[in-house]
Amino acid sequence: MSDLPRQTDNAFLGEKLKSGSHEPTYAGALSFMRRRYSRDLDGVDLAVWGIPFDASVSNRPGARFGPQGVRRASAIFDGDPQYPFQADPFETLACVDYGDCVFDYGRNADIPGHIEAQARTILDAGAHLFSIGGDHFVTYPLLKAHVAKHGPLALVQFDAHQDTWDDKGDRIDHGTFVGRAVREGLIDPDKSIQIGIRTHAPETCGLEILYGEEVELLGVNGVVELIKDRVGDAKAYMTFDIDCLDPAFAPGTGTPVAGGLTTREAMMILRRIGDLDFVGGDVVEVAPAYDHADITSIAGASVAMTYICALAEKRAG
């Protein structure tokens, strides 16, 4: 018995906020990349937080299971130097899995306030926040929380949809949050850009739009240059709707649209814009019920991992 490795169940029993856990990918409690579940933010650089809300979808529901799916898929990444960064981000970042947002599912009108208030608690403790949705409406209260701390932000949005449909300010709708955020002064449209768009909304609200076919024509380096030119040195928020990816790479989502990015393209772009001044980010609209072999959950976990690795790389200099 003395020769058996010690099973740590790092999500509950991990002694350090940094370093990997080296547990089997098929066993143990499934936090995000085996990070310790904790609401103690003392000394924490990064909190990963789930928001299991999908009551604002216009097509297929199911993104409430996104945080579970992304956590499950993330287990395969734990304990190794992450490709292509050749480093474990948790050697640099003290990180916890903060669990999920708490709200009463029967009181939808109250949910945005709960998301914003709980996000503010994390941000006020000094932690960088990366959130896992949930449908894309959750980005609206997340933006409000981040703007309360940092002021108006540039938005870097990866998406198949512009999310600028009509909203008089009283809707809970995943297709209107961008226009609402512009009208409320949460984001600066002159510094904001949408990448991978493959639908047409009635208005652009002043954001630069990079359509799906333009991504292919420009290539990764061209897309990166456009994003950096648009954002400049502004503080920015990154939101990644998984339907930015082509359905071949993300079938498990509510409103899939053909002609999107590959997972490789997305990861390459995210790495190369990691030196922008991102103050927070999210990945949303992963709906595991429509997935096959965890393809979409793996893509969502890869987006989160790439964002976090780029954050660690920047902090490590």
Which domains, from first to last, does the chain contain? 10-316 (3.40.800.10)
Which pLDDT score is estimated for 24? 73
Sign of CA dihedral 68, 70, 73, 79: negative
β-pairing, 154-158 with 235-241?
parallel
Give kind and range of the element (H or E) at residue 208.
strand 208-211
Q: Which of 99, 108, 102 is nearest to 54 (CA)?
A: 108
DSSP state of 229: H
C-alpha angle 171/177/178, rounded to 5°? 145
Per-residue b or e along 2-41, where b marks 16 or more CB atoms closer than 10 Å to that residue's CB = eeeeeeeebbeebeebeebbebeeeebbbbbbbbbebeeb
Report the distance separating Cα 226 and Cα 266, nearest Å: 15
- The pTM for the full model equals 0.94
* Each residue's pLDDT expressed in tens, for the chain with a length of 317 residues: 445 455 568 887 777 777 667 777 777 788 999 999 999 999 999 999 999 999 888 889 999 999 999 999 999 887 789 999 999 999 999 999 999 999 999 999 999 999 999 999 999 999 999 999 999 999 999 999 999 999 999 999 999 999 898 887 778 777 789 999 999 999 999 999 999 999 999 889 999 999 999 999 999 999 999 999 999 999 999 999 999 999 999 999 999 999 999 999 999 999 999 999 999 999 999 999 999 999 999 999 999 999 999 999 999 98
161 close to 260: Cβ distance less than 8 angstroms: no
305 close to 283: Cβ distance less than 8 angstroms: no
Which pLDDT score is estimated for 167? 82
List, as one string, the DSSP characters of 128-157.
EEEEEESSGGGHHHHHHHHHHHH-SBEEEE
C-alpha angle 316/306/118, rounded to 5°? 90
Does residue 232 have a cis bond before it (omega within 30 degrees)?
no
154 close to 192: Cβ distance less than 8 angstroms: yes
Q: Which of 81, 136, 58 is nearest to 309 (CA)?
A: 81
Tokens 């928001």, residue?
A: 51
Tokens 């529901």, residue?
A: 61
Task: Tell which phi-psi region holds residue 294, choosing left (phi > 0), alpha (psi between -120 and 50) or beta.
Answer: left
Helix (H, G, I), strand (E, B) or coil at 37: strand
